[in-house]
């Protein structure tokens, strides 16, 4: 009996420690903030602590695919076709809207027929941007971070940037020069989904059930505003 009691005491600390899931997302990828808020609530409902780490956008996917973290906050559909270790949770939790940002009004009038004369910048790892550039049959200068891209545009080393709208608007608020940039119409818009490494496959149906019950309507005009008002601020879980 004494041996059994000691064995129980040894197990007790392990039983009392909540499971933690660590996800990655891109540096300055402000589009992910709403996704974080949704996932924080979903994982709380599962009794799981959530930690978010920031990495360059392209590296973030590699970290998740390699199992160095437990998954990626959110990406567009079909990412799993290239990153075979990732499983998509099949409920849209956010969306990404891609625009061209520039100081050149003339360029915006031809944004879907861009001459190779122009120097276009894009961020490595933003999958929808890569799809758009390929569809336009154009090339772009691949950069590792959003801030680097903004700085190059400001210094006239690039003529335009292809960015998520939310990222561009964020930098217009905090960068006094980029504030004067202009942006065009939507080049592409797609829903975003949460991805988990396959080692956590058992969580996919549970998260799917919880997210469905949250009745998320990413097409609602006030979707992001509603999420920001009703769910916990994700800044408390970032690293």
106, part of any domain: yes
Residues 117 and 226 in one domain: no
pLDDT at 115: 61
Q: Mark whether 181 and 195 lie in a shared domain.
A: no
121 and 158 co-located in one domain: yes
Overall number of domains in the chain:
2
Tell me how far the alpha carbon of residue 192 is from its chain's centroid: 8
Answer whether residue 1 is part of any domain.
Answer: no
Query: Tell me, what CATH number does 123's domain have?
Result: 3.40.190.10
Strands (E), 82-200: 86-88, 94-102, 120-123, 141-143, 160-164, 182-183, 188-197
What is the distance between the alpha carbons of residues 49 and 98, in angstroms, rounded to a whole number? 32
Cβ atoms 160, 104 nearer than 8 A: yes
Listed residues 168, 188, 208: the one ending a domain: 188
**Are 157 and 54 contained in the same domain?**
no
**Vertex 39 angle, CA 33 and 45, to 5°:** 145
Residues 86 and 102 in one domain: no
User: What gap in Å lies between CA 62 and CA 195, rounded to an integer?
Assistant: 12
The DSSP secondary-structure symbol of 92 reads: -
Q: What is the pLDDT along the chain (239 residues), one digit of tens a residue?
A: 545 444 444 454 444 345 999 999 998 899 999 999 999 999 999 999 999 999 999 999 999 999 999 999 999 999 999 999 999 999 999 999 999 999 998 888 766 666 667 899 999 999 999 899 888 788 889 999 999 999 999 999 999 999 999 999 999 999 999 999 999 999 999 999 999 999 999 999 999 999 999 999 999 888 988 888 777 544 444 44
Q: Provide the pLDDT for residue 13.
A: 46
Residues 57 and 164 in one domain: no
| CB distance 94 to 192 below 8 Å | yes
Residues 146 and 166 in one domain: yes
Domain containing 175: what range?
97-188
Question: How much is the pLDDT for 165?
Answer: 95
User: In this structure, are 163 and 104 located in the same domain?
Assistant: yes
Examine the domain organization and report whether 175 and 159 are in the same domain: yes
pTM of the model: 0.86
Shared domain for 218 and 231, answered yes or no, is: yes
24 plus 90 within the same structural domain: yes
Q: 145: closest CA among 58, 63, 79? A: 58
Question: Which one, of 159, 161, 131, 166, lies nearest residue 143 by Cα?
Answer: 161
| CA 84 – CA 66 distance, rounded (Å) | 10
In a domain, 8, yes or no: no
pLDDT score for 232: 52
């Amino acid at each position: 009996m004494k041996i059994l009691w000691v064995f129980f005491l040894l197990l007790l600390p392990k039983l009392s420690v909540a499971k933690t899931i660590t996800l990655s997302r891109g540096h300055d990828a402000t589009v992910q903030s709403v996704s974080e808020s949704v996932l924080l609530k979903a994982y709380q409902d599962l009794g799981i602590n959530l930690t978010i780490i920031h990495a360059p956008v392209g590296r973030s996917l590699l970290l998740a695919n390699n199992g160095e973290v437990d998954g990626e906050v959110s990406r567009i559909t079909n990412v799993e076709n290239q990153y075979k270790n990732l499983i998509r949770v099949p409920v849209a939790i956010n969306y990404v809207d891609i625009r061209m940002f520039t100081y050149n009004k003339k360029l915006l009038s031809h944004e879907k027929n861009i001459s190779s004369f122009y120097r276009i910048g894009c961020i490595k790892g933003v999958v929808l941007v890569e799809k758009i550039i390929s569809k336009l049959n154009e090339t772009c200068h691949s950069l590792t971070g959003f801030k680097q891209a903004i700085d190059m545009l400001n210094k006239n080393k690039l003529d335009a940037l292809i960015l998520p709208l939310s990222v561009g608007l964020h930098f217009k608020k905090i960068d006094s020069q980029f504030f004067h940039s202009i942006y065009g119409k939507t080049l592409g818009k797609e829903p975003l989904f949460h991805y988990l490494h396959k080692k956590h496959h058992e969580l996919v149906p549970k998260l799917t059930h919880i997210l469905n019950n949250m009745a998320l309507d990413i097409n609602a005009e006030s979707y992001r505003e509603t999420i920001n008002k009703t769910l916990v601020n994700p800044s408390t879980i970032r690293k």
